[in-house]
A and B are shown apart, each in its own frame.
Chain A
C-alpha cells in the first residue's frame, strides 16, 4: 500500500514543473499550483539568476534522492523469536513509512525548494513533489539605519534629527551606497536615506506573513525610534519597495500623530490600504500623486491584489482642494488602470487555473512574464 506523505494533502493541486520534467526522461517533477504567486514574485525566468534556479529545479529529475533513512532489512537466520520478529516488523513498518514522508531540500542561489519523492496512484514511477519554495536573499554585512553624506563619506546619522529633511526609506538594497545613490537621484544631494538591507525582503513578503527574524526586528525598531524622535518635527518621506513593509511594522510601535510628516510611496511592496489607513488616522499628509509605480512587478501585484481596498481608502481621504483635485483624479485613474492590468489578474488567478490546465508551471510563468515586456 502506498503511504501518501502527510505534507501532500492536496494531490490534485500538483502540476508538472516544466516540459522537461514530465517523466519522459528521469523522474517527473511536480510542484503545487498554490506556490505560483510566490514563485512569480521571486524568480524571473528572463534573468541569469532565474534561469540557473529553473535549471537546477529541472535537474531534480536526475539528482533528487528518495530519502536518507535506510530501510531496515528482514532479520537473517532463525535466532529470533516470533515475538521479537513481530516487534521488528513493527519498527520496520514505522521506519519505512517515515522514510517515505521525509522531506528533502534543494538549495540553489536564493531559493530553497522542499520536496518529497513518492509514487501516488496515477504516477507511473516515483515522482518529485515540490511542496514549498522559500526565498532567502543573500546579503553582506552592511548595517541598516539612517545614512547621509558627510563630506564625501556616507556616514551614519548620529542624532537622528530629521527636521525639514527629505528622507528615503530604501527598498531592500545591497549596500548603503546603492541606497544613497537612489536617494540622491530622487531627492537631491541633501537627502537622508534609511537603508534597509536585503535580508528584510526575506521576512516581508506581499503574499504571506513570515516570522520576523531578529535582524529584521531590529531594523523595524530602529525606524520606530527614528519616527518617535522626529514625531513633532517636519519630515518628508519617500518610501520605496519593501521599505513600505518596514514602515508598516514600525508604525505599530509608535503612539500618537504624525501631523507634520508627509509620505509618498514608490513601488510599495505592502498592503498599502491598511498602511494608508494607519497614516490617515495619525493625520499624516498624503498629498498629490503619492503612490507611484515604475515597473516593479511585485509592487504591481500588490496593487492588483488590493485594488478595491486601496481605492476605497483613497476615497476616505480628506476632500482635495484646488489643483489637488486634479492630481487626486489622476492618482485614482492610474491605480484603476494598474490594478486592471490583465496579467496581474492572470497571476492571482493562476493557482486555481493551473489545477485544471494541462500547461506546465514554467510555461505559464514564462507566458505571463513575456507580457511584462
Chain B
C-alpha cells in the first residue's frame, strides 16, 4: 500500500506469514513486523496447533456464551517522514471465538448467511443496553452496526463497527470469519490519531479516517483460510440443501 503524504509505517505486504491449525481449517495471517520500541505491543501466540485444544481457561466474550483466546495482539505506530512525529497508532487483536456446543451443532458457521445472521444477533444482544448518542457515522442497533459482507470464495465474512471503548474517538473495526464448525476468527482494529502536548496532528481527520479503512481492507486481503476436504463437503452440502 502506498501511504499518503509522507506517512511511513509497517507494510502488511512484507509482514510475517503465521499459520494456525484448527480442526476444520488452516488459517494463515500476514502480521506486520512491528518496529522495536519501548511501548510496542507484539504478542503472537506461540501455540500454532489448535486441534483438540483445551479451552477451559479461555476468557468469556460478552454474555452470549462465546469464549475466546488471543492469537495476536499488536500495536504499531505510523509516523511522518518529514518531522519524524508519530501521527497515528493502531491496536489490533486477533482472537479465536469458541462456539457453544449448541451453536456448533447447529452448523451456523458453515453457511455464509447463517454465519452473518448469528453473529449480528449476538452483537445486538451484547449491545442491548448500549445507547448511541454520537451521530449516524457511529454504529448502533438501528444501523445494524454498519455491517457489511466480506466476500470470500468459500464462506463470506462479516465486517462490523463497534463502540467498544467509552470515550474512543472512533469506532473499532471488527471482522469475523468462520473457522469451521466450532470456531470463529474475530479481528478488532482500533486506529487513533496521535498528537503531542504542544502541537496538533498535522494530518486531517478525514485523511486518517480514509487511511484506517484502507489499511484494514489490506490486512483482511492477506487472510487465507483453507478448509479441510470434509468441511468443504459439508459446506457444499448445506449450500445445496
Interface residues, chain A, CB within 8 Å of chain B? 44, 46-49, 52, 56, 107-110, 136, 138-143, 147, 150-156, 174-178, 181, 184, 189, 199, 202, 213
Known: A48-B37, A174-B75. 7 other contacts (CB 8 A): A49-B86, A140-B193, A143-B167, A151-B127, A152-B164, A175-B190, A181-B93
Binary contact track B166-203/A, C-beta < 8 Å → 1, others 0: 11110000000000000000000010111111100000
Complex contacts, A154 vs chain B, CB 8 Å: 164-166
B41, B61, B86, B129: the one within 8 Å of A109 (CB): B86
B85, B91, B197: the one within 8 Å of A178 (CB): B91
Interface residues of B in 66-101 (CB under 8 A from A): 73, 75, 79, 83-86, 89, 91, 93
**CB-based contact B164/A202 at 8 Å:** no
Query: Is B163 interfacial (CB 8 A cutoff)?
Result: yes
**CB-based contact A153/B165 at 8 Å:** yes
Chain A, residue nearest B70 (CB)? A181
Query: Is B4 interfacial (CB 8 A cutoff)?
Result: no
How close is A134's CB to chain B, nearest CB, in angstroms? 10
Interchain Cβ contacts within 8 Å, total number: 107
Complex contacts, B59 vs chain A, CB 8 Å: 184, 189
How close is A47's CB to chain B, nearest CB, in angstroms? 5
A49, A141, A142, A189: the one within 8 Å of B37 (CB): A49
Query: Is B60 interfacial (CB 8 A cutoff)?
Result: yes
**CB-based contact B166/A153 at 8 Å:** yes
**CB-based contact A44/B164 at 8 Å:** no
B61, B63, B130, B165: the one within 8 Å of A175 (CB): B165
A110, A141, A152, A213: the one within 8 Å of B196 (CB): A110
> Contacts A108-B84, A109-B84, A155-B166 given: A140-B126 contact, CB under 8 Å?
no
**CB-based contact B41/A178 at 8 Å:** yes
Complex contacts, B61 vs chain A, CB 8 Å: 152
Complex contacts, B190 vs chain A, CB 8 Å: 175, 177
How close is A218's CB to chain B, nearest CB, in angstroms? 14
**CB-based contact A202/B91 at 8 Å:** no
**CB-based contact A151/B37 at 8 Å:** no
How close is B52's CB to chain A, nearest CB, in angstroms? 24
Size class of the B contact interface (CB-based, 8 Å): 35 or more
Q: How far is the CA of A141 from the CA of B192 in the complex (A)?
A: 8
**CB-based contact B36/A47 at 8 Å:** yes
Q: How far is the CA of A168 from the CA of B73 in the complex (A)?
A: 20
* 5 A-B interface contacts by CB (under 8 A): A136-B198, A147-B165, A147-B166, A153-B163, A174-B192
Complex contacts, A139 vs chain B, CB 8 Å: 194-195, 197
Complex contacts, B166 vs chain A, CB 8 Å: 143, 147, 153-156, 176
Complex contacts, B85 vs chain A, CB 8 Å: 109, 138
**CB-based contact A174/B37 at 8 Å:** no
Complex contacts, A140 vs chain B, CB 8 Å: 89, 169, 192-195
- Most chain A CB within a 10 A radius of its CB, from B36, B129, B167, B193: B167
Binary contact track B36-67/A, C-beta < 8 Å → 1, others 0: 11110100000000000000000111110000
Complex contacts, B73 vs chain A, CB 8 Å: 181
Nearest first, the 8 closest Cβ-Cβ pairs linking A and B are A48-B35, A140-B192, A152-B62, A143-B167, A138-B194, A156-B166, A151-B126, A47-B37
B36, B37, B167: the one within 8 Å of A176 (CB): B167
Complex contacts, A138 vs chain B, CB 8 Å: 85-86, 194-196
Q: How far is the CA of A109 from the CA of B86 in the complex (A)?
A: 7
> Contacts A52-B84, A138-B85, A178-B91 given: A153-B130 contact, CB under 8 Å?
yes
Complex contacts, B39 vs chain A, CB 8 Å: 174
